[in-house]
Amino acid sequence: PVLFRDDEDTFKILIATDIHLGYLEKDPVRGNDTFVTFNEILEHAQKSEVDFVLLGGDLFHENKPSRKTVHSCLESLRKYCMGDRPVQFEILSDQAVNFHCSKFPWVNYQDENLNISIPVFSIHGNHDDPTGADALCALDILSCAGLLNHFGRSTSVEKIDISPILLRKGRTKIALYGLGAIPDERLYRMFVNKQITMLRPKEDEDSWFNLFVIHQNRSKHGATNYIPEQFLDDFIDLGLWGHEHECKIAPCQNEQQHFYVSQPGSSVVTSLSPGEAVKKHIGLLQVRGKKMKMQKIALETVRTFYMEDIVLADHPDLFNPDNPKVTQAIQAFCMEKVELMLDNAERERLGNPRQPEKPLIRLRVDYTGGFEPFSVHRFSQKYMDRVANPKDIIHFFRHREQKEKNDSDLNFGKLVSRPASEGMTLRVEDLVKQYFQTAEKKVQLSLLTERGMGEAVQEFVDKEEKDAIEELVKFQLEKTQRFLKERHTDAEEGKIDEEVRKFRESRKKNTKEEDEEVREAITRARAHRSEDAVLVASSSDEELMDTGIKSTGDSDDGLPSTLSRGRGRARGRARGARGQNSASRGSSRRGRGSTSQESATSSRTYKPVSTPAKNMSIMD
């Protein structure tokens, strides 16, 4: 497209998303890919003399990035974004509202102690979202250091008011809206219940160019596990969509609401799926008045990725499943395909010296029809020095044969076949739900709900909240016990079971209340983690004071005076917990000889519950 000429009325914005710094950082071949490409992105921003950089989430791959990753990110931002070049636009909105979660609630280039030449604005994604007792994320570290402006953060799950950052350059005004990643199903429900409000400027609201940054599923992953474009407000001019890795950066118009959506895609291949094989780009967005132009900029440092599918049943002339040497023939055919992809990669690299030497190669082989797969490990040995991902070049899969049904109402949606585990992201809570739906009756949940359990397990897996499951079990147990007491249920097992079943069904229907339950349980888990930190600190101080003193008559632990180092720490924690209720004291007695972690967990106190004075297992 013909670009606007540079003048005092034209905004120049560099657009990128899903950079995933630190992805495979320990891989000897691919470890530095994300850092090199991030430098290239910021280099483009510097050369193009953009007004600011706008990122759509997932700057980091891990929720708790390593020191190396954080250090490399700070190094790049300091190198390319600090300098004497003046920033040409001003902010008109109340920055205390825009950056309300920051200890320094103003844009970094207006801080008199910093010398910023290219401001970076970013929302958080699902990989680097706020967690922990203080609800902090990796972007907050960059924000506190003055190298990035973290916006679009919402603290309430009841109602979200999105207040825009109002920018002005000459006669062009941009209202920049942002919404950091929120679990898709929750956000879907909030949109349906009209709990999301996008605030607009009171003066000349039609003269603003409205730019909205979002980080959610765009393609449908389930009934409510995505955000339809139709949910967004009509007045938006351009939506910048993060999270989806396939590059569709050219703005595409929504036919119903007439706004445009740009999906920049990721700048690194994080899954060997078809969407990732599309060439990676970033965008140079120019806005003047209410008009915009998007220039695609191909990234040169991205590792090339080639992908091909083979269906063995489509080649009856080449492969006969009854032939004893058919496996060797399949292997030779696959080698031929890989060699062809390597030749294409070499040719492409000749014109681009910045491209990494070893490409990514993926060959998906459908062996449905009586064929047998060959050894992938032996095959990969041949390409150790030529391919960046030798261990997973080949992916064998076969379609499950559908059983014929006599019913007239066949569900054709279920008959659509697709490669197993390929290009799909399985979520922890989906696995939990799927497990209990297909489990035998004797192991079905009768007190807890699948949804609550799934959320707790995901917190445990993704965010390392080690007490999340335990707290959810306790919370739902307390709630059920209170319900039974209020109903004055007779102490007959049959009646109790029936009341519990009814109570569980009513909770499953009330998804909002269940969300609150999970949040309360997670909050309690975080609070206990903070208490643990204080407890450990105080116990270690006490250990120092008690060195060499023989412990006698200590009814809480009853441990011998000569202890191993681990036991000494456990004893210190148990002593620090003295004075708690009888349940916890009993549990600390049971913990004799346990590791320090077990002892610390068992000596915690919770709200009084009518349970026996011993630790209850999840099965109980």
Calculate helix-pair angle for 33-47, 67-81, nearest 10 degrees. Answer: 10
Q: Which residues are tagged catalytic?
A: 127
Phi, psi of 262, rounded to the nearest 5 degrees: -115, 130
d(CA 211, CA 319): 54
Query: Which whole-number Å values give the CA distances from 172 to 212, 291, 440, 591, in the listed order?
Result: 17, 10, 63, 68
d(CA 150, CA 130): 11
Give 612-618 contacts, CB < 8 A, sequence gap 24+: 613/582, 613/583, 613/586, 614/583, 614/586, 614/587, 614/590, 615/587, 615/590, 618/469, 618/473
DSSP letters for 353-417: TTS-SSPEEEEEEE-TTT-----HHHHHHTTTTT-S-GGGSEEEE-PPPPPP---SS--GGGG--
Helix (H), strand (E) at residue 484 = helix 468-487
Q: How many CB atoms lie within 10 A of CB 473?
A: 20
Tokens standing for residue 456: 């707790």
Q: 13 pairs with which residues across the strands?
A: 52, 285
d(CA 75, CA 416): 48
The DSSP secondary-structure symbol of 82 reads: B
Q: Which residues contact 187 (CB under 8 A, 6 or more apart)?
A: 196, 216, 227
d(CA 29, CA 165): 41
Q: 169 pairs with which residues across the strands?
A: 172
Phi, psi of 149, rounded to the nearest 5 degrees: -110, 105
Query: Which whole-number Å values give the CA distances from 297 to 21, 174, 261, in the listed order?
Result: 20, 23, 17
Query: Which whole-number Å values give the CA distances from 44 to 34, 216, 333, in the listed order?
Result: 16, 26, 42
d(CA 1, CA 296): 10
Q: Which residues contact 330 (CB under 8 A, 6 or more apart)?
A: 312, 319, 365, 367, 371, 374
In contact, 95 and 106? CB cutoff 8 Å: yes
